[in-house]
Structures are given as C-alpha cells and as structure tokens.
Amino acid sequence: MAKKTKNLFTLMQPVVRKDSEIGQVEITGAISQAGSLRGLNLIRVANMDADSIATLLTRVTAPVLTQKEINEMHTLDFIGLAELLVPFLNPPEPGASNVAETESE
C-alpha cells in the first residue's frame, strides 16, 4: 500500500523516466499560491474532478510530474496524491470564522 507522510507520498508503482524512477512525490508550497489554480474551475477542483486534479498536480509536485505521467500512474497513486491536496483546499479550522465574517458583524 502507498504511504503518506505530510506532503510526501510514496508511490505504489514508481513513475519511470529514462534511466530513473520516481518513488516519492511531494506536494510543494506552490499549492498555497492562487496562481496554481489559474485556468481551473474551482468547483471541479473542489469536487476532485480527475482532469482538474491532474492539471493541478502538474503544477504543484516535486519532482514535477507531466500530464502523461499522471494519466498513466496507478489509480491508487493518483487518488493518494489527490488526497494530499485536500488540506490545502479547505480552511485550516473548519467552522472557524474568517476575517471577512468577523469584520462585518
């Protein structure tokens, strides 16, 4: 079974590149930048649409994965990487008031 540690994911089936293999993928700090969502439909990203998540992963992984590599990866590896995105796409503390709500009250 694939293993997750914080922002690092160990692939069940390594991605093969020429003479090397990628066995671990990290979700980088780029996920915290709004630019990583450029051109993506936020509803589709939030609903974990496979095409949207695949595009997002090409922008926020280290080593950088290509669209082809993501499309060809094992389904469980893709799902595991998608799960790593969830904390970045949700508020840090569910139910907590955000600044805009607090200032208007």
Q: In the chain, how many domains are there? A: 1
- 42, 100 in Cβ contact below 8 A? no
pLDDT at site 4: 54
In terms of residue numbers, what domain contains 44?
3-104
Predicted structure pTM score: 0.81
**8-12, 37-41, 67-71, 95-99, range with the lowest pLDDT:** 95-99
| Percent of the chain with pLDDT strictly greater than 90 | 71
Cα first-last separation, the chain: 48
Label residue 94 by pLDDT band (50, 70, 90).
low
pLDDT at site 2: 62
**Average confidence (pLDDT) over 74-102:** 77
User: Residues in the chain, how many?
Assistant: 105
39-59: per-residue pLDDT in tens? 999 999 999 999 999 999 999
Amino acid identity at 25? V
